[in-house]
Amino acid sequence: MKLLIEEYDYPVDAVTKLFPNIDELDPIDGKVRVNYVGYYYHAAEQESVFILPKVILEVSQNGEPEKVFGRHRPEDIIDLDADGSPLTKTEREFIYGLAVWIYRAIAVYREDCKTSNRDHTIIRHQNIVRQGRGKKRTANTYLDILLSLIDFAKRNKDWFMFILKNIHSGYNKINWNRTIAKSQVVVQNNEPVYLDPITKKRQVNFDEELLVIFYSILHYIKSEYGFPVDLNVNYNLITGKRFKQYLDKGLGIRRLRQIKYKYFSDKALELWELCYAFFEQSKHIRITSQMNEFLLAKNFNIVFETMIDELIGDFTFPDRLNKHQEDGKEVDHLFLWDSLTRARQDDEQREGNHMTYYIGDSKYYKQKNRVGRESVAKQFTYARNVIQWNLNLFFGENAEQAERRKTDFCLRDEVTEGYNVIPNFFLSGKVPSDFNYRDHVEETGKTAKTHISRQYINRLFDRDTLLVTHYDVNFLFVLSLYARDNAMQKKQWREKVRNIFRDKIREELSRRYQFHAIRALPSINTEEWLKANFKSVIGKVFAPYVEDKEIIALALANPHKEHDPKVTAGIEAENAHVLALIDTAFNRVPLDNLGIDPRP
């Protein structure tokens, strides 16, 4: 098996033999880049080749070459099975498994293209996977084995039915000669009763045991990788911890060796070899292939963006608000979720003023890559466009005639003339150092920061104050979740990860601002007071509760987040002035974090 990495500069000589048409790679100065991700078999060279996404490459910060897992130069690990390969056993096993998930994700994307307007032109596909006699090649990839097992199940349905019919014919039919000769008898009411009748079921049937193992493997492939497999059987399959022992402790190989010589038909031997190859991940399985086969995605960043959008985005926005903005820009991810400035009660539905717009941008980067200025500027533009669209909806020429849904809400509060906060974030894929597939979302480390665009330092609730945060998701988890294509699992994670984004962005705001809830004293008219003190509180106040405009959120910049001592002193003085002013007319409660309901 050969391994290539997307968008890495390989020496031409290192990959020339692996491509039917090297001109596709556009050689420059003796270097070539593979701009595909996926799997193909080069029949002329009898080589299986995996092209893995660039996300497993780590960018060096000191000018050194990019490396896989931060350790290996890609040209040193092209031949995965070479005796001198620097890859560890763990790394090699991880690559085999990742290749299957990549294949499955591209297959899901390809299927989605048939029923959606996704870009199908990025997929190249030709599939010829057959096992049998004739011109043969050695299947030295885990993917080959999985595909061959699935293909065997599809091609041999009649054979399975024939075997099952023969196995079950005569089940529970008593063998009276053996029963009378060997079973204990009790006479009751002058009638003999045999306590242990001998039936056909008491015999070990090795054909049936092989089928149980085979269907248990198919069940594992379906549940683990999401491949569509027909499992219309009534066997008690080997699953869970027991199947894990078959995989990890060699029980599968040992049991297959024990029953190997019980089979004589070509089909049964073929099935045995497939099952054995699965457990051993060996090179003994042979597959017929007369020509190249492949499933490749060009511009895999589109697939990654689709994966993220499928898992976190909304697909039910009205035509007047979608990801295709009027200025020609296109937002990666846009969805409605909980407003940051108020706590959602259990009896409240996610609609109207309870919500706000979340704007996300997928960043399909190599590890430790930085977000560029252009990307940050685009995110700010996306947010400004959404704000303007919202204002046009409520205050534009046709505002009175607009038919608004319950989920429509105005970002600007007329009482305070403050603007609700729009969460804006980048989302990158990260490969954990221990190669785990666990679900986790974390703030990007030292390579990223929160980006701020503002006109006034101390005005959070201002339409010109915008923040973009940056988070990493486990690329392996997202990949496997998308590849399984399980609607329930995706729905569960969608709600979970949206809550994570909400809470993390609230935490970031709480580090940058001091929040208070205020309510006017009985003798104070809130609107009149706000108008009289407009210049002192503009951009610092926002009324999050439509049903109770007397409760107002107050946000004051944290002076210690500024690096310039003069700016820090200015903020401290301004905050002291505002608080003194507020305390003459309002009851005030400091809040440790956004999302705390101050109404009690």
245/376 same-domain check: no
Facing residues of 298 across strands? 36
Q: Pick from 249, 283, 317: which residue ends a domain?
A: 283
411 in the same domain as 481: yes
Q: Are 344 and 410 in contact (CB under 8 A)?
A: no
pLDDT at 447: 52
Sheet holding 286-288, edge to edge: 130-131, 286-288, 136-138
Closest CA to 471 of 423, 420, 515, 510: 423
Read off the tokens for 582: 């507020």
Whole-number pLDDT of residue 517: 94
C-alpha dihedral sign at 34, 35, 37, 39? negative
Are residues 444 and 470 in contact, defined by beta-carbon separation less than 8 angstroms? yes
| Residue for token pair 């293209």 | 113
pLDDT by 10s per residue, the chain, length 600: 789 999 898 988 888 888 766 556 777 888 888 889 998 887 777 778 889 999 999 887 676 788 998 889 999 999 887 888 898 888 888 888 898 899 999 999 999 888 888 888 888 887 654 554 445 555 557 777 888 898 898 888 888 887 777 665 655 567 777 777 777 777 788 888 877 777 655 444 556 888 999 999 999 988 888 787 888 777 889 999 999 889 888 899 999 999 888 877 888 888 998 999 898 875 555 566 555 778 899 989 999 999 999 999 876 655 556 666 666 677 888 888 989 988 766 556 666 668 888 999 998 888 877 888 888 998 998 899 888 888 887 877 666 555 556 567 889 988 999 999 999 999 999 999 899 999 888 877 655 578 889 899 999 999 999 999 998 999 999 999 999 988 999 999 999 999 999 998 999 899 999 999 999 999 999 999 999 999 999 999 999 887 788 899 999 999 988 888 999 999 999 999 999 999 999 999 999 888 888 878
Give the pLDDT score at 204: 43
Q: 147 and 217: one domain?
A: yes
Provide the terminal-to-terminal Cα distance of the chain, rounded to the nearest Å: 65
Out of 512, 542, 567, pick the residue that ends a domain. 512
**Does residue 8 sit in the same domain as residue 47?**
yes
Domain around 224: 140-283
3-state SS, 96-159, equals HHHHHHHHHHHHHHHHHHCCCCCCHHHEEEECCCEECCCCEEECCCHHHHHHHHHHHHHHCHHH
Q: Are residues 390 and 365 in the same domain?
A: yes
Q: 300-312 vs 487-512: helix axis angle to the nearest 10?
A: 90
Same domain, 262 and 323: no
Cα separation, 252 vs 260, in Å, equals 12
Residue 594 lies in a domain: no
pLDDT at 134: 45
Question: Is there a domain that residue 597 lies in?
Answer: no
Q: Residue 201 falls within a domain, yes or no?
A: yes
Provide the whole-model pTM. 0.80
Residue 390 lies in a domain: yes
Number of structural domains the chain divides into:
3
Res 313: pLDDT: 85
Yes or no: say if 331 and 319 are a contact pair by the CB < 8 Å rule. no
Task: Note whether 213 and 219 are within 8 A (CB).
Answer: no
Alpha helices in 396-457 (DSSP H): none
pLDDT of residue 96: 85
Amino acid 133: pLDDT:
44
Q: Phi and psi at residue 496, in whole multiples of 5°?
A: -65, -45
Q: How many CA atoms lie within 13 A of 580 on its CB side?
A: 6
Task: Mark which of 226, 251, 283 sits at the end of a domain.
Answer: 283
Would 546 be classed as within a structural domain? no
